[in-house]
Amino acid sequence: MSETTVWIVVIGLTCVTVATRSAFLVLGKRYTLPDRLQHALRYAPVCALVALITPELALAGGSLDLSLSNPKLVAGIGAAMVMVATRNMIAAMAVGMLAFTAMRLLAG
């Protein structure tokens, strides 16, 4: 890839960020969403975050792996359970990393 190509892509991606993140805000009050829809959008952040997470846990090399030998799935569920039980972020991440590392080492 040439120097110019990279910079064109960088500028293009910057425009994409601005266009998507600011779309509705820049339009201002001209287009107001119905109350019901605005209320529904409160669920957007949770859905987006979960949707970023689950493919990382359940897909191994692009194919579905829901077995107990999938280190990411087991460690991810473990971390989630620790978080539900303790609400302690550091503990959840530590348990998850330990489980992940242990399973990878055991699998050789």
Whether residue 61 contacts residue 71, with contact meaning beta carbons closer than 8 Å, is answered with no
Does 51 engage in binding with other proteins (CB under 8 A)?
yes
The single residue among 3, 34, 61, 67 that binds other proteins, judged by CB under 8 A, is 3
Does 104 engage in binding with other proteins (CB under 8 A)?
yes
As a dihedral over the C-alpha atoms of residue 35, residue 37, residue 42, residue 48, rounded to 10 degrees, the angle is -160
Q: Which is nearer to other proteins, 49 or 107 (CB)?
A: 49
Does 69 engage in binding with other proteins (CB under 8 A)?
no
Does 41 engage in binding with other proteins (CB under 8 A)?
yes
Does 20 engage in binding with other proteins (CB under 8 A)?
yes
Cβ at position 57, least distance to other proteins in Å: 7
> What is the rounded CA–CA span in Å between residue 62 and residue 104?
18
Instruction: Say if strands 59-60 and 63-64 run parallel, antiparallel, or are unpaired.
Output: antiparallel
